[in-house]
């Protein structure tokens, strides 16, 4: 506590042995004791260490696959979108996450954690050799930008840029099914669907919820089994 009050620190611990001088300088600037001398977030992003890390080369095949999937992504019904978002944010492997993160960082030129239309357009040209029209970019954003923010955030990017078949393995669908099956009964009720899809500030009309239930409840018993859930998720037209 005394050291904190004085703003006193050093890098003598063995844990810092392999850390670069640029990284240490970055940390030192962030821990500047006087607020008026501490860099702003915008200034920190421009630091040499951040810029060097952001400039690391992305695997060409990974970038091309992600960009191909991004432009071919189709908007889904609300339930499928919620399921894909959950899988993309919670259930993908570390290796998959690292691959997609490297592509996202390469596209995110200003490092603000979201992709603008201009950044996506430049990304396609730089990494895939394609010059997309404004109409193509607008169409992509209509499908991918699910919260209509005007940007593609990281979770939206993961859902749209990852191969859908790879995203929806039986194991991952089982994990997503449990997200809906709040009471652990082995089936999903209309109230459980509504609870998940209207969580937070989401406002989904009852008509839309009724349509989703009709689509997924194949035998009309008012309960959705895992088999029915699986069928809906793997149906590319929904």
Domain range list for the chain: 19-55, 60-164, 185-234
Containing 164, the helix (H) or strand (E) segment is helix 164-167
**Among 45-54, 124-133, 167-176, whose mean pLDDT is lowest?**
45-54
* pLDDT above 60 for 237: no
DSSP secondary structure letter of residue 37: G
Q: What is the pLDDT of residue 54?
A: 65
Three-state secondary structure call for residue 175: helix
**Among 35-39, 44-48, 54-58, 155-159, whose mean pLDDT is lowest?**
54-58
- pLDDT greater at residue 1 or residue 226: 226
**Among 34-43, 96-105, 143-152, 211-220, whose mean pLDDT is lowest?**
211-220
Q: What is the pLDDT of residue 203?
A: 54
- Report the CATH fold assignment for 60-164: Recoverin; domain 1 (1.10.238)
Q: What is the rounded distance in angstroms from the CA atom of residue 79 to the CA atom of residue 69? A: 20
The chain-wide mean pLDDT, for the chain, equals: 84
- pLDDT band for position 205 (cuts 50, 70, 90): low
- Report the CATH fold assignment for 185-234: Recoverin; domain 1 (1.10.238)
Q: What is the pLDDT of residue 176?
A: 92
What are the pLDDT digits (tens) for 30-48?
998 888 889 998 899 889 8
**Among 116-130, 150-164, 189-203, whose mean pLDDT is lowest?**
189-203
Query: What percent of the chain stands above pLDDT 90?
Result: 26
Q: What is the pLDDT of residue 204?
A: 60
| pTM for this predicted structure | 0.64
Domains 60-164 and 185-234 share a fold: yes
- pLDDT greater at residue 230 or residue 54: 230
- pLDDT greater at residue 99 or residue 222: 99
Q: What is the pLDDT of residue 238?
A: 42
């Amino acid at each position: 506590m005394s050291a904190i009050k004085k703003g006193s620190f050093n890098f003598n611990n063995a844990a810092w042995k392999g850390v670069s001088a640029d990284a240490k300088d970055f940390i030192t600037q962030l821990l500047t004791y006087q607020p008026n001398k501490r860099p702003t977030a915008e200034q920190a992003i421009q630091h040499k260490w951040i810029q060097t890390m952001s400039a690391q080369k992305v695997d060409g095949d990974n970038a091309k696959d992600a960009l191909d999937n991004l432009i071919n992504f189709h908007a889904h019904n609300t339930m499928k979108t919620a399921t894909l978002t959950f899988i993309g944010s919670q259930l993908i492997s570390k290796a998959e996450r690292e691959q997609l993160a490297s592509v996202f960082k390469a596209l995110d030129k200003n490092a603000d954690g979201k992709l603008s239309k201009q950044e996506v357009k430049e990304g396609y040209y730089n990494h895939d050799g394609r010059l997309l029209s404004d109409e193509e970019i607008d169409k992509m954003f209509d499908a991918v930008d699910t919260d209509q923010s005007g940007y593609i955030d990281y979770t939206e990017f993961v859902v749209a840029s990852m191969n859908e078949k790879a995203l929806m393995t039986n194991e991952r669908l089982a994990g997503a099914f449990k997200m809906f099956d709040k009471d652990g009964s082995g089936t999903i009720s209309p109230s459980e669907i509504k609870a998940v899809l209207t969580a937070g500030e989401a406002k989904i009309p009852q008509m839309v919820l009724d349509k989703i239930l009709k689509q997924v409840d194949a035998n009309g018993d008012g309960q959705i089994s895992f088999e029915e859930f699986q069928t809906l998720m793997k149906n590319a037209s929904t």
